[in-house]
């Protein structure tokens, strides 16, 4: 039996790196492309790479995710989050290739009370990042029937610059930290998202016919930004003597930042029912990521 070819775009991001570190099935030929190898905003490059590799499935985790930067670099945000995925879906449609596309909880405005968002809830993004991702979703839907759109939330990991690594740097260098109490979401370990992607991909490659559409996945347990920072401090405590004071704040205390949804908890019932993917407590993922970060830090030292 011929190997199944899987193409990953966005290998340099958190989810991409987490997926690259997973143990792949023996019958996969897995190829990962970072921004330098395949920039999804360059349509001809994408087309050429797809036609050369001839994938059986494409996973797109490439995006411009710097929320505040998207507010000022709108053209770049639209190119990466809307035009690129739409073109990719168009290429997939021509060649009959299923596509898994990563999206975000920021397509919702979070102003309708504290009821978790289901995949079919009406989108109303509060910022340019969310708007560009919403348009990317619609582009994928319009161009390709064989798609999975997976919305994720508040991703953290041991890879690169993210909520966790930035906070560790702040703990190391500051005596006082502020974290907001009026933004609530579900922190999500990138490694858990990668495992969900493996489950979805395997099912699609084995011909799962009812697996297409829009799904949600996030860590189990809603938390404010303040609660997440406190959890990071607790997980980091065995490795440092630093104990900065953590002060509660409100979003309005930080002028100049892009608006965020005050509540963006995702309902993950559909992905559990269709794919058997269960949410995992994000605090367990935080402990695991911290162990890796501290191990790597000891190696450097």
Residues noted as catalytic: 129
Query: What 3 state SS string does the chain have?
Result: CCCEEEEEECCCCHHHHHHHCCCCCCCEEEEEECCCCCCCCCHHHHHHHHHHHCCCEEEECCCCCCHHHHHHCHHHHHHHHHHHHHHHHHHHHHHCCCEEEEEEHHHCCCCCCCCCECCCCCCCCCCHHHHHHHHHHHHHHHHCCCEEEEEECCEECCCCCCHHHHHHHHHHHCCEEEEECCCEECCEEHHHHHHHHHHHHHHHHCCCCCCCEEEECCCECCEEHHHHHHHHHHHHHHHCCCCCEEEEECHHHCCCCCCCCCECCECCHHHHHHHCCCCCEHHHHHHHHHHHHHHHHHHHC
């Amino acid at each position: 039996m011929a190997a199944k070819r899987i193409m990953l775009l966005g290998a340099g991001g958190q989810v991409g790196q987490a997926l690259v570190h997973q143990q792949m099935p023996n019958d996969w030929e897995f190829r990962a492309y970072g921004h330098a190898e395949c920039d999804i905003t360059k349509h001809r490059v994408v087309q050429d790479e797809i036609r050369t590799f001839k994938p059986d499935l494409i996973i797109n985790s490439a995006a411009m995710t710097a929320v505040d930067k998207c507010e000022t670099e709108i053209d770049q945000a639209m190119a990466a989050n809307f035009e690129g995925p739409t073109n990719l879906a168009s290429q997939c449609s021509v060649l009959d290739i299923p596509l898994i596309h990563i999206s975000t909880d920021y397509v919702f405005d979070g102003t309708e009370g504290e009821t978790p968002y289901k995949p079919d809830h009406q989108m109303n993004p509060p910022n340019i990042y969310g708007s560009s991702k919403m348009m990317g979703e619609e582009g994928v839907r319009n161009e390709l029937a064989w798609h999975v759109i997976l919305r994720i939330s508040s991703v953290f990991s041991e890879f690169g610059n993210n909520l966790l690594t930035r906070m560790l740097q702040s703990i190391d260098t500051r005596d006082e930290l502020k974290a907001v109490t009026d933004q609530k979401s579900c922190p999500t370990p990138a490694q858990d998202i990668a495992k969900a992607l493996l489950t979805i991909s395997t099912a699609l490659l084995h011909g799962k016919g009812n697996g297409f559409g829009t799904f949600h996945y996030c860590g189990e347990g809603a938390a404010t930004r303040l609660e997440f920072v406190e959890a990071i401090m607790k997980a980091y405590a065995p490795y440092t003597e630093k104990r900065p004071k953590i002060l509660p704040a409100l979003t309005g205390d930080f002028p100049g930042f892009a608006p965020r949804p005050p509540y963006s908890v995702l309902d993950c019932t559909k992905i559990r029912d269709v794919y058997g993917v269960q949410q995992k407590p994000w605090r367990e993922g935080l402990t695991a990521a911290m162990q890796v970060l501290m191990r790597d830090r000891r190696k450097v030292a």
